[in-house]
Chain A
C-alpha cells in the first residue's frame, strides 16, 4: 500500500534520524531589465524530502544540473533554502541565527569536488588544517601542531607535509587535505560533494576507501553526492535519485540497483558499463530521448514525462506522489498502477500500462 506522505519515514525510527529534510526548495531568482524585475526562478531544488540515519551513507545521484549539489549546500546553509525545513538532531536549522549556526558548524562539514579550488593557495597545509581549530578555539599553542599532525596522519599524509603549499600536491593528496580539514572539528555529518569525480580512477578508490575507514573509525554520517553510479553503489547504504530538482526514487542500495522502479532510475542504471565483455554485449541500454529539461520551467505533472518511454496522460497532468513501498520510495504513476511493481521500459517490451 502506498503511503502518500513524503514526510513520514516509517522504516526509520525517529531516534535514528540525524538529518531530515522536509519539502526543501531552493529557487534562484532571475532578474532582468533596468529595474531588476524578478522575471522567473531557477528551481534548482523543488520540494525535496528525505532522512539520513545516524551512521549511514546516503548516496545522492543525478545528472549535472539536477540540483544535488544545491541540496548539499542548503543542508550546510551555505545557501539559504527558499522554503522547507531541515532538521539536524531534531532541531530545525533553517531558523537558527548566525551565532547558533556557528556552533552547529562543528557538527557538519563538507568535502568539495574540485581539490584544486577548495584549498586556499595562499595558505600552507598546516594553516589550512589548523584553521577550524582556531575558529572554534579547539586547540591553542603547541596543541594545534600536535592535532594537525594527528589529522594529517589520519588521512594518510605525513606531518612534514604541513609546511607545504597546496600546489605541491597531487589531486588525491589535496583531497586528503580537504578531508583532514573537515575532520578537524570532529563532525558527525559530512556532505561529500562529488569528492572523487575530479580524480583519476586509480586514485578514486583510495579516497573512497579512506572515507569508509573514517566513517567506521569516527562513526560519521555521509551524504555522498555523485554522478558515478558505481562509486555510489560501493559506498552507500541507501541511494536517492534526483532529476530536475526533485527526488524520483530512494531505496536501500541493493534494492535500488537490483530492482529499480522508476523509469529514470532504470535508464540510468542501464547506462553503467559492465566490466565483462560477454555480459556487456548482451546489456540492453535504454537511451533517453531529448535533453534534461530546464529547471526554470520544469515539465508539468511528472517532471520526467517529457523523456519517459512509458509516459501516459496522467503523467503530464498530475505530480506523482513520493510513495513508500516498504522502504522503497518512488514518485511514478506507472509504479503506483502496478502497486509497487517494476514497469518494463525496455524498447523490446511491447506492453505498456494503459
Chain B
C-alpha cells in the first residue's frame, strides 16, 4: 500500500515508446479536432479536373479520385475513427464491467452461468459476428458503434470478473456488508471504484481494438459510408487508386491507423505494468 502510494507520486519516466505513443495520441487528436477549422477546403466538393494531384504546397497530401483534399479528409476521417473507437470502447467496457461485476460479486451458480455464456460467445468468430450484425444494421454511425461495442465486451467482462473475485473478499467489503450495505452499493461504491485501474487499462486496448474493427468494416464497405471519410474507408478507396498511380493516397490513412493503434497499445501496456 505504501509502495503503491509512492509509485503514484513517482514522476512519469516511461520508455521512449510510451512517451512517443502519448505524444502521438495528443497531437493526432488535437489536429483532427482543430485542424479542419484552419484548412479551408470543402471536403465533399467534387472537382474532377484536379483529381489525383500529387502532394504540393496547395494540397500537402495531394487529392483523391474526386479531386478532394486528402489532408482535410484525413483529419475529418480521424475524427470519425477516433470517435468510433472511443465510444465503442466505452460501450464495451460498460457492458463488460457490469456483467463481470455481477458475475464476480454473486459468484456460485450465477457466476458459472454468466461465464459459460461468455465462453460460448467467445467461440463465435468476432469478425463473422461483426459482419453479420453490421449487414443487419448497416446505416448510421451510431449503429456501427453499437455493433462494435456489443461484439467486444467479452474480454473486459472476464477481466473485471477476475478482479472482482479477489476484491469481494477484502475486509472493507466485509465491513460494508456488516453495515448492511445493499448489493448495488457494494458493487458500485466498493467493487467498481477499486476495479477502476483494470477497467481503464482494458479500455485503452479496447479503443485500439474498436478502431481496427471500424477499419476492417469500412474496408469491407459495410462500415462508415462514403462520402463521410474515415481512416478505414479512405484506405479502402485508396486501394483502387494505386492502379491510377496515386500511391500517396494509401500511405496517410494506413500510417495513421498503424501509429494510433500502436500508441494505444503501448500506453495500455504501460498502464498495466504500472498497476501490477
Residue-wise interface mask of A (98-140) relative to B, using a CB-CB cutoff of 8 A (1 in contact, 0 not): 0001110110111011101111111100000001100110000
- Tell me which residues across on chain B come within 8 A of A73, comparing CB atoms: 174
A178 within 8 A of B: yes
Q: Check B179–A131 contact: CB distance below 8 A.
A: yes
Q: Check A116–B177 contact: CB distance below 8 A.
A: no
Residue-wise interface mask of A (136-152) relative to B, using a CB-CB cutoff of 8 A (1 in contact, 0 not): 10000000000000000
Q: Check A178–B175 contact: CB distance below 8 A.
A: yes
A167 within 8 A of B: yes
Q: Check B178–A105 contact: CB distance below 8 A.
A: yes
- Tell me which residues across on chain B come within 8 A of A132, comparing CB atoms: 179
Closest to B169 in A: A117
Q: Check B171–A114 contact: CB distance below 8 A.
A: yes
Q: Check A118–B180 contact: CB distance below 8 A.
A: no
Which applies to chain B's interface (DSSP): helix, strand, loop or mixed?
A: helix
A53 within 8 A of B: no
Closest approach, in angstroms, between the C-beta of B3 and any C-beta of chain A? Answer: 11
Q: Check A135–B175 contact: CB distance below 8 A.
A: no
Number of interface residues of A (CB under 8 A): 30
- Tell me which residues across on chain B come within 8 A of A118, comparing CB atoms: 171-172, 174-175
Q: Check B178–A120 contact: CB distance below 8 A.
A: no
B10 within 8 A of A: no
Which of B172, B176, B177, B185 has most A Cβ within 10 Å? Answer: B172
Total inter-chain residue pairs, C-beta < 8 Å: 66
| Given A116-B1, A119-B172, A122-B194; A110-B180 close (CB under 8 Å) | no
Residue-wise interface mask of B (141-183) relative to A, using a CB-CB cutoff of 8 A (1 in contact, 0 not): 0000000000000000000000000000011101111111110
Closest approach, in angstroms, between the C-beta of A125 and any C-beta of chain B? Answer: 13
A76 within 8 A of B: yes
Closest approach, in angstroms, between the C-beta of B188 and any C-beta of chain A? Answer: 11
Closest approach, in angstroms, between the C-beta of B160 and any C-beta of chain A? Answer: 15
**Contact residue among B171, B190, B194 (Cβ-Cβ distance under 8 Å from A112):** B171
B123 within 8 A of A: no
Q: Check A108–B172 contact: CB distance below 8 A.
A: no
Q: Check B1–A121 contact: CB distance below 8 A.
A: yes
- Tell me which residues across on chain A come within 8 A of B4, comparing CB atoms: 167
B245 within 8 A of A: no
- Tell me which residues across on chain B come within 8 A of A136, comparing CB atoms: 179-180
Which of A73, A101, A110, A113 has most B Cβ within 10 Å? Answer: A110
Q: How far is the CA of A145 from the CA of B252 in the complex (A)?
A: 57
| Given A122-B196, A131-B176, A167-B1; A117-B181 close (CB under 8 Å) | no
A185 within 8 A of B: yes
| Given A120-B194, A121-B194, A122-B196; A135-B179 close (CB under 8 Å) | yes
A181 within 8 A of B: yes
- Tell me which residues across on chain B come within 8 A of A76, comparing CB atoms: 178
Closest approach, in angstroms, between the C-beta of A172 and any C-beta of chain B? Answer: 15
- Tell me which residues across on chain B come within 8 A of A351, comparing CB atoms: none
Question: In chain B between 1 and 30, which residues have their CB closer than 8 angstroms to a CB of chain A?
Answer: 1-2, 4-5
Q: Check B172–A106 contact: CB distance below 8 A.
A: no
Residue-wise interface mask of A (24-47) relative to B, using a CB-CB cutoff of 8 A (1 in contact, 0 not): 000000000000000000000000
A positions within 8 Å CB-CB of B: 73, 76, 78, 101-103, 105-106, 108-110, 112-114, 116-123, 131-132, 135-136, 167, 178, 181, 185
5 A-B pairs with least C-beta separation: A105-B180, A118-B171, A122-B193, A117-B171, A120-B172
B positions within 8 Å CB-CB of A: 1-2, 4-5, 170-172, 174-182, 185, 189-190, 193-194, 196
What are 17 A-B interface contacts by the 8 Å CB criterion? A102-B180, A103-B180, A105-B178, A112-B171, A114-B171, A118-B174, A119-B172, A120-B190, A120-B193, A121-B1, A121-B194, A131-B179, A135-B181, A136-B179, A167-B1, A167-B5, A178-B175
